[in-house]
Every structure is written in C-alpha cells, then in structure tokens.
A = this chain, B = another copy of it.
Amino acid sequence: MPSNATPPARRRTSIGSRRNPETAAAVLAAARELLIEKGYAGFSVEEVARRAGAGKPSIYRWWPTKADLFVTLYGAEKTAAILVPDLGRVVDDLTRYTASLWRFWRTNPAGGAFRGLIAEAQTSEAALAALRVKFLPERLEPLRTIFGRAVERNDLNAADVEDRIALWVGFNWFRLLTDHVDDDVQAIARAMEIIAGPRASGPPGRPRSGSAR
C-alpha cells in the first residue's frame, strides 16, 4: 500500500459503482498514521477523512462505526505478523506468543487500535458487539491452537481451555490498558505458568496433590 496518505492525497476519482480499493487503502493508511501520531485520543473520523482526502460519508459507508475501522486496521496490521509457535510445551508456546503479541502492540499502531476498540466498546453498544462477535473469536484462534495441542498431548483437560483463555485475554488486556506491554519475558512466563498450570482443587485446606488435568 503506497504511503499516499497524508498530503492532500493524490486525487483519486471514482471507479464507478464498485468500491474503490484505493480509497479504502488511503483511509486505512491515514488512520494508521493518525494512530501513530496521536494515539487513540486525538483519533477522529473527521481527521482521517481530511488526511485521506476522502469524504466522511465514504468512510461511514464502509465502516459504519469507529470500531469497525479499528477492527479493519488491526486486522490489516496483524496479517502476516505473528507466528503461532510450536515448541512442544504449552507454557513455552504461550510465553513466546504473548511476547510476540506485546512486541506487535508496542511497535505497530495495532496496539493503539486495540485500545481504541476496547474504549469504544464502553461507549457504543455496536462497538461492544463488534468486539465480542467479530473480533475476539477470530483473534483467539492462535490460543485455541496452542491449547488444542496441549490437550492432544494430554497436558491439559479440554474442559479447561475456555477458562484459561479468559485468563490469558484478561491478563493481556490489563497490561495493554494500563500501558504495560513491556518486554519482560520473565514476567510473561510466570503468568503463563499459572495460566497453564494445574487447578487448585481438592478438599478445603489441602490445596491438593496430583492436581490438574
């Protein structure tokens, strides 16, 4: 995608009654830049339109919600970004994947886009729906893959997976939303060891032995 965004943007003209991919690209490029420059605060559809040399209605035609724009933006960045590791041990996979994800969040506008999406979801019902229905299921695929392998290896109980995924997501959100997605791999690893660890079950008072799985 050419960086034809910020200056008034070379004149694009309509290509008729089908969507103009150049326009879409220009909008996304402008949104990307804006996110880098100003973060989620200071992000506005108005400004995106200005930079992209697009009309606001053209943006609203394709992204009826700011959230939709963030989703697309995030998707565009994520494409071909993070490999799902397969190191034979679930904690290692989780740690590496999480560390990669955080690096991605730190170095791309994606992190900002995601923060924006979550913030938006607090304000708009539509954004919340987008987050829950369109975004999360798709983005959690890698996690399911990693945990799925662990289940196949009999390292984890299949019934646990959703709970562990919820913990993983929460951990990541917490760090992202408090702007703490650093590169402390040790800290990540420690959290992952708990997420992937055995349950603390058994009779009260005795935290149990031979626990999980």
Contact = CB atoms under 8 A, between A and B. Distances in A.
B40 A122 contact: yes
Interface stretch (A5-13, A23-31, A75-83, A113-121): A113-121
Summarize A's interface: helix, strand, loop or mixed: helix
Contact of A177 (B171, B173, B199): B173
A138 interface: no
Contacts of A204: 87-89, 92
B128 A179 contact: yes
The size bracket of the interface on A is 35 or more
20 contacts: A40-B122, A41-B124, A89-B204, A89-B205, A121-B178, A132-B178, A136-B178, A163-B187, A167-B195, A169-B170, A169-B174, A174-B174, A193-B199, A194-B195, A196-B207, A197-B201, A198-B207, A198-B212, A198-B213, A211-B211
Interface of A: 40-41, 87-92, 115-116, 118-119, 121-125, 128, 131-132, 136, 154-157, 160, 163-164, 166-167, 169-175, 177-179, 187, 190-201, 204-205, 207-213
